[in-house]
Amino acid sequence: MKDQYLLNNNIIFLNHGSFGACPKPVFNNYQQLQSLIETQPVQYFSEDIYNYLRKSREDLSSFISCDADDIIFTPNPTTALNSILRSLGLNKNQEVLTTSHEYGAMIRAWDWFSKDKGYNIIQYSLKLPFTTKSNFIDDFWKGVTKNTKIIFISHITSPTAIIFPIEKICERAKHEGILTIIDGAHAPGHIDLNISNFNPDIYIGACHKWLSAPKGSSFIYVKKEIQGLIDPFIISWGKEVDPSASSFIYENQYQGTRDFSPFLSVSSAINFQKNNDWDAIKEKCRALTKQTLLILRDILKTELLCPVNDDWLAQMASIELPVKDRLKIKKTLLNNYKIEIPIFQWRGKNMLRFSFNAYNDKKDSNILINAVEDIFSK
């Protein structure tokens, strides 16, 4: 399916996890939506946009199983979290429990706001390697104290590519009166997502990654019971121009003149997956991920972070590289083998993270495996 994407044919693209890759039909729809603005800008911004946004939210809410009036679009997960953090009424010495597997920009946002308010960010260091989901939860809950007011945790982690058991975490947190904020940047379009099932308080998701919508399309889900706690990130016209019945929607949806096309393209991205038997594609990619990871483990002789099965991994995996100069390895893979792949430092270790999507196949996996074997045999 690589011909369905705009990707450079000379590059083996194994980094879908960072920014995604938009298919040609979705990108074409995106450009058509941009052109639509210019045909009648006044009509578009004063009337039409609200119906378009409603339709896009309905399509997305059906895809992730929640109410359309419980989600708003946002450019990216980092912006989403920043808008939420401005509204949290945390006090001095109260705690936010998170893990050492979280995305760096998100933790930096928490640190920034915590310094002003005086609450504490607890980055709990989970015991590795993971074994069972129940052991994971028991270990994570050792970080909960009487001061824990919020749990902030990834659905699928960015540095380690691991699926966390957020269903059980949300259930236990609810029982103990702890607010849950889930960073689901890597989940929509990557794994089956049913928000109603695990009932988080707040869920932040990206549409430009695994759903493959255009860049600048993400969302925030906020449970109805706490929507009144969320202040608008930008104060604009609100209900004076927005006909939506929900104050959560009309106070947050229209934030001045901007290009809404990435949000409206989400419907096209969902349809692209539906029309291309995406369940079969995901199954193929999951199998390829597991096969590749096990072979790389044998080559690199490093310990894996979790069991190699569908409970913990999907279309993306990370493995430690036993090297000191990670930048040299990254440049070698790109310049000599034409492989675009992220290599980064995490908890003092150099990690390689690879991801497979519809445009990848066994040949791409073999090129990566042969390149790693060649480099580390020298």
Tokens 């990566």 sit on residue = 368
Specify the range with the lowest mean pLDDT, choosing from 215-224, 233-242, 317-326: 233-242
For position 265, what pLDDT does the model report?
98
Interhelix angle 266-274/49-64, nearest 10 degrees: 40
Strands (E), 40-104: 71-74, 95-99
pLDDT value at 181 more than 80: yes
Per-residue pLDDT of 3-18, as tens digits, reads 999 999 999 999 999 9
For position 195, what pLDDT does the model report?
97
Per-domain residue ranges for the chain?
A: 2-24+277-376, 39-273
For position 240, what pLDDT does the model report?
75
Whole-angstrom distance, CA of residue 45 vs CA of residue 49: 6
Cβ(106)–Cβ(81) under 8 Å? yes
DSSP letter, residue 155:
S
- Report CA-CA distances (Å) from 163 to 91, 181, 274, 285, 359: 31, 16, 23, 15, 23
Cβ(120)–Cβ(114) under 8 Å? yes
Cβ(185)–Cβ(158) under 8 Å? yes
Q: Among 101, 97, 84, which residue's Cα sits nearest to residue 186?
A: 101
Q: Among 33, 349, 320, 342, which residue's Cα sits nearest to residue 186?
A: 342
Cβ(255)–Cβ(234) under 8 Å? yes
Region of residue 349 (phi > 0: left; psi between -120 and 50: alpha; otherwise: beta): beta
pLDDT value at 241 more than 80: no
Tokens 């990130």 sit on residue = 233
Whole-angstrom distance, CA of residue 370 vs CA of residue 102: 31
Topology (CATH level 3) of domain 2-24+277-376: Aspartate Aminotransferase, domain 1 (3.90.1150)
Pairing of strands 349-355, 148-154: unpaired
For position 256, what pLDDT does the model report?
84
Specify the range with the lowest mean pLDDT, choosing from 19-33, 76-90, 133-147: 76-90
Whole-angstrom distance, CA of residue 9 vs CA of residue 7: 6
Tokens 């982690």 sit on residue = 157
How many beta carbons lie within 10 A of that of residue 120, not counting itself? 16
Specify the range with the lowest mean pLDDT, choosing from 85-99, 109-123, 178-192, 237-251: 237-251
Cβ(196)–Cβ(216) under 8 Å? no
Pick the CATH number of 39-273 from 3.40.50.300, 3.40.50.150, 2.40.50.140, 3.40.640.10: 3.40.640.10
Tokens 């597991």 sit on residue = 290
Which phi and psi angles does 90 have, rounded to 5°?
A: -80, 145
Q: Considering the entire predicted model, what is its pTM?
A: 0.96
- Report CA-CA distances (Å) from 148 to 100, 141, 154, 284: 17, 11, 17, 41
Whole-angstrom distance, CA of residue 48 vs CA of residue 162: 41
Cβ(162)–Cβ(306) under 8 Å? yes
Q: Which long-range contacts (CB under 8 A, 24 or more apart) does 345-349 make?
A: 346/159, 346/160, 346/318, 347/100, 347/125, 349/320
For position 207, what pLDDT does the model report?
98
Specify the range with the lowest mean pLDDT, choosing from 30-34, 255-259, 298-302: 255-259
Average pLDDT over all residues of the chain: 95
154 strand-pairing partners: 183
How many beta carbons lie within 10 A of that of residue 35, not counting itself? 10
Tabulate helix, strand, coil % of the chain (nearest 5). 45, 15, 35
For position 42, what pLDDT does the model report?
95
Specify the range with the lowest mean pLDDT, choosing from 45-59, 248-262, 354-368: 248-262
Under DSSP, is residue 259 helix (H, G, I), strand (E, B) or coil? coil
Interhelix angle 77-85/104-117, nearest 10 degrees: 10
33 strand-pairing partners: none
Percent of the chain with pLDDT over 70: 100
